[in-house]
Amino acid sequence: MATIVITDIAWPSAAIETELAHAAGHEILLAESDEHLLTLAPQADAILTCFRRVTAPVLDAAERCLTVARYGVGVDNIDVDCATDLGILVSNVPEFCTEEVADHALALALATLRNLIPATDAIRSGGWTPEAAHPSRRLRGLVFGVVGFGSTGRAVAERAAAFGFEVVVSSRALAADPSAAPPSVTRVVERDELFGLADVVSLHVPLNAETRYLVSARELGMMKDGTLLINVGRGGLVDTEALRPELDRGRLRAALDVIDPEPLPADHWLRSSPAALITPHVAFASDGSLIELATKAMSNVLAVLAGGCPPSIVNPDVLTSHVLRSIPQ
């Protein structure tokens, strides 16, 4: 019997994961805090994590851990380099929520450009003031800029084109081969050009050392007055404090499902900004995506504990490393 430590979950229960683990003869322990995770780490044969950080101290303490599996796509909350050095395989669940995140990005765009929140707030306050929705934008012909063109960026481009936006994309892969762009894409441009052209800028790149603060004061200054910035990727892609003066002046607007810091402190200025529409990191979530996520993430863990490999390995170099941890016999 192996011990699987779950660091945290963002849904009501770990019933699916627990059923799968118990069926394979393993036990589940759920960490209640960062400190508790560090305490449980020495017992862990595997770690399954959602948002809680799996740091080098945790990995160093997890002396018998074979794998760290991420509930989700990005692994910026896991010290992957440390895990690789220790011979620990890291896995993730790519594309489980592509449709949900793309839908959410378009929902944020539509709600903001059509001024739905002020209009509904007016109703809730007892009024009937059609002017609360003004000035809303005609979508057809607006330029929708997609930064990054993986599966989610592609899905967002398809949706934006269907609403009549002119879709421009910044993507290294498409820049190298523009003919690979699908019909939904009007133009492939450099990133700086996109920032200057777009009426909507939507971010769909992973968070790493290169992309942290991809949008900061310099990039914000390139954007046209009235531009909407959408982030459904990772909070660290945007320099939140650099965004503040642009929103305070009303020059730009933002629709953010992810923020740096996260969760937002109760007194954070973004909570009361009339130029920002904020959702609490829920773009990935639906009844279907959460079932898929829980099932696939736990299946990744069970594959390693059974002596095999999961279908998606973040650090494949570890497989040929002399320090790769093997199943205890």
What is the Cα–Cα distance from 9 to 297, expressed in whole angstroms?
12
| Rounded distance between C-alpha atoms, residue 140 and residue 39, angstroms | 55
CA count, 13 A, side-chain hemisphere, 169: 32
Could you write out the DSSP letters of every residue in 11-31?
A: SS--HHHHHHHHHTT-EEEE-
Coil/strand/helix, residue 315 = coil
Q: Could you tell me how far CA 117 lies from the centroid of its own chain? A: 24
Rounded to whole angstroms, the Cα distance separating 317 from 248 reads: 47
Concerning whether 22 is annotated as a catalytic residue, the answer is no
Cβ-contact 74, 234 below 8 angstroms: yes
Instruction: Select which of 251, 262, 268, 292 is catalytic.
Output: 262
281 has catalytic annotation? yes
234 belongs to the catalytic site: yes
**Which entry of 26, 70, 234, 325 is annotated as an active-site residue?**
234
Burial of 53 (0-12, 13-18, 19+ CB in 10 A): middle
Q: In 3-state terms, the chain is what percent helix, strand and coil (to 5)?
A: 40, 15, 45
261 vs 269: CA distance, rounded Å:
12
Q: Tell me which of 26, 52, 70, 281 is the catalytic residue.
A: 281
Six token digits for residue 296? 């696939």
SS3 string of 138-152? CCCCCEEEEECCCHH
Catalytic (active-site) positions = 234, 262, 281
